[in-house]
């Protein structure tokens, strides 16, 4: 292994890993070295560019804290998060599709009873959510755990609302015997992904928008079924086609129906116009074995 050329260095590096015990690790590392070297050759990476890349990744690491994961955000904006999900969760079109989890899920969310108001008293257009969880044959899935979380009318999650510490606009619910669940909250708004770190620099250098379309997140789990990590977007949102994290799927776009206070299925429950969001979620069984 001497006098390696710019082509010969690739098999040389891979051959140093030939004793790797775990065959999957060997496959991943071999492919990583091949693609990384091909990339460097392809763009003829200069020393200054290599140093800039190392600095970018170093600062990405330094931006991470117990509550902020800049590497996952980088994965999100490079499409890697949704690509890994697409490969790992190939579901029939009728089943509810996944989207990104995002950084705003909190373990310390309150359990709420069916139909509860989870808004925490925050101002906004009232939102009524009526959900149903079924299996691929349309049979109800009772006692499914349903996590919901969303932003407020200004696009802030509870931890970002100034002066507020407790959870709001998030809940752990459970489906009833007929597979239904529901809650009341306020209508979420579109918001920018965090742009004050290295990922923000990358987005601005590539002239990309930080704005995510408005959405309600849901995470649904039931024994014997694949977990669904998803979100529902309003059909009239202006950012549907420029989502910086590539999480929008046509099947997750819903009409957020808007009614006057005295009209529609929830008439009389509010004194102001409200939004009604209704959705059936179809779970896939876990693979046999
Ligand atoms: C979110 O929808 O909460 C989100 C997802 C990915 C990156 C940032 C935010
Ligand atoms: Fe979100």
Q: pLDDT tens-digit profile of 2-14?
A: 899 999 999 999 9
The CATH class of 80-283 is mainly beta
Q: pLDDT tens-digit profile of 24-74?
A: 999 999 999 999 999 999 999 999 999 999 999 999 999 999 999 999 999
Contacts (Cβ under 8 Å, ≥6 apart) of 158: 120, 152, 164, 166, 167, 168, 169, 170
Instruction: Write the residue with the smallest CA distance to atom 7 of ligand 1.
Output: 102
Distance from residue 32's CA to the centre of ligand 1 (Å): 27
CB-based neighbours (< 5 A) of ligand 2, an ion: 102
Distance from residue 192's CA to the centre of ligand 2 (Å): 9
Q: pLDDT tens-digit profile of 162-186?
A: 888 889 999 999 999 999 999 999 9
Using DSSP's 3-state secondary structure scheme, residue 42 falls into helix
- The vertex-134 CA angle with 130 and 140, nearest 5°, equals 90
The span from the first CA to the last CA of the chain, in angstroms, equals 46
| Proportion of the chain above pLDDT 90, given as a percent | 95
Q: In what order do the strands lie in the sheet with 180-186?
A: 180-186, 126-135, 274-283, 257-259
Residue 287 reports pLDDT greater than 90: no
Q: What share of the chain is helix, strand, coil (3-state, %, to 5)?
A: 25, 25, 50
| Proportion of the chain above pLDDT 70, given as a percent | 100
The total number of residues written for the chain in this structure:
289
pLDDT of residue 227: 97
Distance from residue 36's CA to the centre of ligand 2 (Å): 32
Distance from residue 49's CA to the centre of ligand 1 (Å): 29
Which whole-number Å values give the CA distances from 139 to 95, 134, 227, 283, in the listed order?
13, 5, 17, 10
Q: pLDDT tens-digit profile of 67-122?
A: 999 999 999 999 999 999 999 999 999 999 999 999 999 999 999 999 999 999 99
Instruction: Write the residue with the smallest CA distance to atom 9 of ligand 1.
Output: 102
Looking up tokens 């202006």 gives 238
**Closest ligand by atom to 70 CA:** 1
Instruction: Write the residue with the smallest CA distance to atom 3 of ligand 1.
Output: 102
Q: What is the mean pLDDT of the chain?
A: 96
Please state the domain extents for the chain. 9-45, 80-283
pTM equals 0.94
């Amino acid at each position: 292994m001497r006098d390696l050329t710019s082509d010969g260095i690739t098999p040389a590096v891979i051959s140093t890993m030939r004793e790797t015990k775990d065959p999957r690790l060997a496959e991943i590392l071999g492919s990583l070295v091949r693609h990384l070297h091909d990339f460097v050759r392809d763009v003829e990476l200069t020393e200054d560019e290599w140093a800039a890349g190392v600095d970018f990744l170093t600062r990405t690491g330094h931006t991470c804290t117990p509550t902020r994961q800049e590497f996952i955000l980088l994965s999100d904006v490079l499409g890697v998060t949704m690509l890994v999900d697409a490969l790992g969760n190939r579901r029939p079109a009728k089943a509810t599709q996944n989207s990104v989890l995002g950084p705003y899920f909190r373990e310390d969310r309150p359990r709420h009873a069916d139909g509860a108001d989870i808004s925490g008293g925050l101002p906004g257009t009232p939102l009524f959510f009526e959900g149903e969880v079924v299996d691929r044959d349309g049979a109800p899935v009772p006692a499914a755990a349903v996590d919901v979380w969303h932003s407020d009318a200004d696009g802030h999650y509870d931890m970002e609302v100034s002066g507020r510490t407790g959870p709001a606009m998030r809940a752990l619910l459970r489906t009833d015997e007929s597979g239904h669940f529901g809650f009341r909250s306020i209508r979420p708004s579109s918001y920018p992904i965090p742009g004050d770190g290295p990922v923000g620099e990358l987005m601005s250098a590539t002239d990309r928008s930080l704005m995510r379309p408005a959405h309600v997140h849901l995470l649904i789990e039931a024994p014997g079924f694949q977990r669904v990590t998803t979100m529902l977007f309003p059909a009239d949102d202006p950012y549907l086609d420029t989502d910086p994290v590539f999480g929008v799927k046509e099947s997750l776009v819903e009409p957020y129906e808007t009614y006057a206070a005295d009209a529609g299925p929830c008439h009389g429950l509010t004194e102001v116009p409200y939004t009604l969001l209704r959705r059936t979620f179809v779970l896939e069984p876990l693979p046999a074995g």
